[in-house]
Amino acid sequence: MEKATVILVILLAIAGIANAIMDTLAFKYESSIFKTRRPQFWNPSLSYRNKYKEGDSTKGPRFFLSTTILVFTTDAWHLAQFIFNTALFTVVVLYPCAFHFKNVLLDFIILHIIYSLFEELGHRLFKSK
């Protein structure tokens, strides 16, 4: 396997796990391993306020760009989203280097399976025991 292909697979794994983190935080926080972590960062019902001055949206951003391009520094959900997007955008850039467009449909199926396996693994890992 070429180096670019290995990197692409690793990035898809990261994207799948990051997506599982976003899903878990958004829909299953109370039954997840994250509920024992620092709630102000991990609990989406609280952490969304971190981007605002004193946690109040009427007072504006907490710091320059905290509600836009730097929002990933304010809470776990946005950090996971940033990792997910960065990994997927990098996959898009690396795809031609890794697969040389030999069979786009087969590549799509293989890449989707890799991503889905790691997303499922993430969902299983983040459940509370």
Tokens 């109040």, residue? 56
Q: What letter does residue 54 receive in the DSSP assignment?
A: G
The predicted-structure confidence for 79-128, as pLDDT tens digits, reads as follows 999 999 999 999 988 887 776 666 778 878 888 899 999 999 998 989 87
In whole angstroms, give the CA distance from residue 19 to residue 124: 13
Instruction: Retrieve residue 1's tokens.
Output: 């396997």
For residue 64, the enclosing domain spans 3-125
3-state secondary structure at position 127: strand
Per-residue confidence band for 5, with pLDDT thresholds at 50, 70 and 90:
confident
Number of domains present in the structure of the chain:
1
Rounded-to-10 torsion of CA 94, 9, 121, 84: -20
3-state secondary structure at position 70: coil
Q: What is the pTM of this model?
A: 0.86
